Amino acid sequence: MSDDMELVRGSGNIFRDFDMPNPELEHLRSTLAAQIITTLDKRKLSLREAGAETGINYTEFSRIRRAKLDGFTVDRLWKMLDLLGQTVDVKVKVHPAAKRARHTPVHI
């Protein structure tokens, strides 16, 4: 019996790997959302406590916890982090877009 497997190395952006629209934007939004969740966990804040502290309805935090990011803009997520006492540093590097390989299969 053969147990051949194909290992596929991703690009580091799953949204790009699956040819989703706006992969860089979606990656950024998911990264900010993950930081919101990390902050809530580190501070042991419930969704209602986070809502009370920030003035944002707790249901918004619930949507983020469930990775329902439709309707959240980058600036809104950034503002939520700010209201939770976090600072976001951004490094921007602009260069001409190159053709990207989808992924490189590696046979094992």
pLDDT digits (tens, 9 = 90+) for 18-27: 888 888 899 9
- The pLDDT assigned to 107 comes to 57
Sign of CA dihedral 64, 67, 71, 75: positive
- Distance, in Å, from the CA atom of 82 to the CA atom of 9, rounded to the nearest integer, reads 34
**Nearest 5°: CA angle at 93, between 34 and 24?**
40
State the amino acid at position 63 in one-letter form.
Answer: R
DSSP track, the chain: -----EEEE--S-HHHHTT-SSHHHHHHHHHHHHHHHHHHHHTT--HHHHHHHHTS-HHHHHHHHTT--TT--HHHHHHHHHHTT----------------S-EEEE-
pTM of this prediction?
Answer: 0.78
Residue 99: is its pLDDT beyond 80? no
Share of the chain above pLDDT 70, in %: 88
State the amino acid at position 90 in one-letter form.
Answer: V
